[in-house]
Structure 1
Amino acid sequence: MKGLLVIAAIILMLAGCASTPTVHTDADPTANFSGYRTYTWLNKPDQQGVPPLASQRIVEYVNAQLAAKGWKESPNGDVAVVAHVATQQQQSLDTMYSGPMYGGWGWGPGWYGGGMGMSSATTRVRTYTVGTLVVDLFDVKTKQAIWRGTASDTVPDDPAKGDKLLRAGIAEMFSAFPPGSVPAKK
């Protein structure tokens, strides 16, 4: 039984290491992305109380993705970029059972009833923070939204892990940008 618990713990740890943010994108189907080549930041995350280092990374990573698509930052860009960050506390319940593992239906010769034995259960409440990054693009001339990308995941305590998740989320967000292009191969 202990072996099964160890295997289950290892699988959960590996699944946690392989975690990538949940990413969604949406685009205005009438927007002509081939006409856009420049952008300007309208609202950066540091203007919303986001820690300065996190804000700098968001801007850096979004800029890198747009530059990779041939877009250039300009004071009077074709597109306005707005980024927002939101966090929310969530909880989960983890219950562990312990005790003798004997009994059960039809256990042993002549025993055809329910099992007997003492066991206990311990439930732990785990509180964690889920962070969501939203990047919106607006056509400067029409003032209409043309694209939105979101990335959400559990915020880790380790800043290096948080940076890795942020980088992965933004990269995934822009993998098929501009709309209609072929996604980058992983």
Structure 2
Amino acid sequence: MRQYQIIIGALLLMILTSCSSTSTLSDEFADFDLSAYQSFDFFTVDGPDEKLADYDANLEFLKEEINRQMTERGLKQDSSSPDIKINLGIVVEDKVQTRTTNLATDPFMYSGQRNYTWESREVPVNTYKEGTLTMHLVEGMSNKVVWAGTASRVVPKKTDKKQRAAQEAVSELFDQIDN
């Protein structure tokens, strides 16, 4: 279990420094073939001590969407001895949207002295939450990661829009697997 925590920590560091919304974490997974497997299940996800109000419902929605995607690809869920186990990592961060000031929109004010200056700076304009979903596919027999990918999205405030963003993120992960 400690090994997975280290992997997740390294993956999160990579995610935080990445600009793309989805990514496969390594070229070593390029020849991964999901059709070589017949069954799957989920690792137990340990949530934070202080969960957001809808954490459990959102996690279940993600699992249902992943289950649907796996079923569409011919795999079935098997809790007794799955060929693939799915490990999910979920991070939600508060972010601040900023803009750069400029003379056209933010001119300096003259106060009667000749020693004034003006410089461009970043000013906050909005706050939002960004969610990152990391998915590891771990082979049941060898207990080794055979594929890993991430998807990041702005987390909408409305529940129905959250679910749509989660569906898109899961679809993008599976698009990565299929390619």
List alignment gaps of at least 5 residues for structure 1. 1-20, 100-122, 181-186
* Percent of paired sites with the same residue: 20
Equivalent residues of 1:28, 1:145 under 8 A apart: no
Output the CA distance in 1 between the equivalents of 2:157 and 2:170: 19
Choose 1 or 2 for highest CA Rg.
1
SS at match of 1:43: coil
Q: What TM-score comes out, normalization by structure 2 length? A: 0.65
Q: 1:139 to 1:90 in 2, by over 3 A?
A: same
Q: Secondary structure at the match of 1:153?
A: strand
Q: Which residue of 1 aligns with 2:172?
A: 172
Residue identity in the other structure for 2:135: V
Residue 79 of structure 1 corresponds to which residue in structure 2?
Answer: 84
* Distance in 1 separating the partners of 2:32 and 2:57: 33
Unaligned runs of 5+ in 2: 1-19, 108-122
Contact 1:48/1:84, CA 8 A, preserved across alignment: no
Which of 61, 64, 69 pairs up with 2:65? 61
Q: Does 1:129 align with 2:140?
A: no
Check 1:157–1:79 CA distance in 2 against 1; reply closer, same or farther (3 A cut). Answer: same
Separation in structure 2 between the aligned mates of residue 23 and residue 131 of structure 1, nearest angstrom: 12
> Which residue in the other structure is 1:10 paired with?
none
Aligned to 2:21: 22
| Cα separation, partners in 2 of 1:141 and 1:30, compared to 1, 3 Å | farther
RMSD between aligned residues: 2.7
Name the TM-score, length of structure 1 as normaliser: 0.63
Q: Once the 2 structures are TM-superposed, how far is the Cα of residue 124 of structure 1 from its aligned partner? A: 4.1
Structure 1 residues 154 and 29: CA distance shift in structure 2, 3 A: closer
1:97-112 correspondence to structure 2 within 5 Å = 97=105
Question: In the aligned structure 2, how far is the partner of 1:149 from the partner of 1:30?
Answer: 14
Q: Partners in 2 of 1:146 and 1:172 — Cα distance?
A: 18
Name which of structure 1's ranges 26-35 and 148-157 shifts more when overlaid on structure 2: 26-35
The residue type equivalent to 1:129 in the other structure is K
Q: Distance in 2 between matches of 1:32 and 1:164?
A: 27
State the shift of 1:29 in Å: 4.5
1:29/1:153 Cα in 2 relative to 1: closer, same or farther (>3 Å)?
closer
Match of 1:159 in 2: 159
2:42 matched residue in structure 1? 41
